[in-house]
Amino acid sequence: MSGKIFFLLIINLLGCYGVITAQIDESCQIQINRNHTVDFNDYAQLSLDAFQTKFDYYLEWEVPTTDRILVHLFIPDSVEMGWVKEVKKVLQAHYDLLMINYASDNHSHQVLVRLPPLSKSPPDITRLRQRNILKVLINAKQEIYVNGQLTTLTQLSASVRRFLYSDPENEHLPVLRMNTLPEIGQVPCAVYSIIVLYHDYGTLNESYRSVYLQIREVYHQIWDSYAQQYFNKPYRDLSKERQEIIRQILPYVLSEVG
């Protein structure tokens, strides 16, 4: 693709959630198929090894001077998340070059994200205080569990909201820290709260996406609530500086673990 494309990039990794101008020099198309193959640009039904070879060649020889590449990643609802994770590992090897635009059946997230770098082991949360962690699992039966308890999508929303707002008087909810913020002064902040999202190999993308978006929506609702409380405006109408103040009250921290 010739020419340069500019996007507003929304990053939602490890608590960083903001809007910046991103320059895209190149884009490509990837589809993860249910039969454990990958379509990449003009290549169809590639095995994982073949896809990795084609993708690495594409990065090295076809776009060697590109600063950033936009990957249009299509994941059908019926694809298993375990297979998605295997394909994502190929992309994560080049995490510093890529920005991902997710889409699925009849749905586009309309959000660009940067993948985290490859990690040899999942994050160790055993050292953290358990009251500061909300564990959400979608299993291969497409059932949702919150801290080991079977729940519904509606109940999940209520659990996430209760967890993120917290309550200093409840020893089972996250610890809040009093911080002094610009324009607001002292306010309790949920700086220790972490949501960990797990899936099984057989968890379908449709189920995973529904839970992921539900959690993200609760964050936005709470940001809106704080924005109205402190600045009398919706979160989206605040300046970038004031949005950052709101995110200091409630940082976006969602760890995705396969």
236 vs 249: CA distance, rounded Å: 16
Q: Give the per-residue pLDDT at 129.
A: 85
Q: Give the per-residue pLDDT at 62.
A: 77
**Ramachandran bin of 81, using left for φ above 0, alpha for ψ from -120 to 50, beta for the remaining angles:** alpha
* Torsion sign (Cα): 214, 88, 97, 103: negative
217 vs 209: CA distance, rounded Å: 12
CA angle 98, 124, 165 (to 5 degrees): 85
Q: How far is CA 204 from CA 70, 85, 102, 156, 222, in A?
A: 24, 12, 15, 18, 28
Q: Give the per-residue pLDDT at 118.
A: 76
For every one of its 258 residues, what pLDDT tens digit does the chain have, with 9 covering 90 and above?
334 433 333 333 333 333 334 556 688 999 999 999 999 999 999 999 999 999 999 998 877 666 788 999 999 999 999 999 999 999 999 988 898 998 888 665 556 777 878 776 666 666 778 999 999 999 999 999 999 999 999 999 999 999 999 998 899 999 999 999 999 999 999 999 999 999 999 999 999 999 999 999 999 999 999 999 999 999 999 999 999 999 999 999 998 887
Q: Tokens for 23? A: 């320059």
46 vs 86: CA distance, rounded Å: 13
Whole-structure pTM value: 0.82
Q: Give the per-residue pLDDT at 123.
A: 62
113 vs 243: CA distance, rounded Å: 19
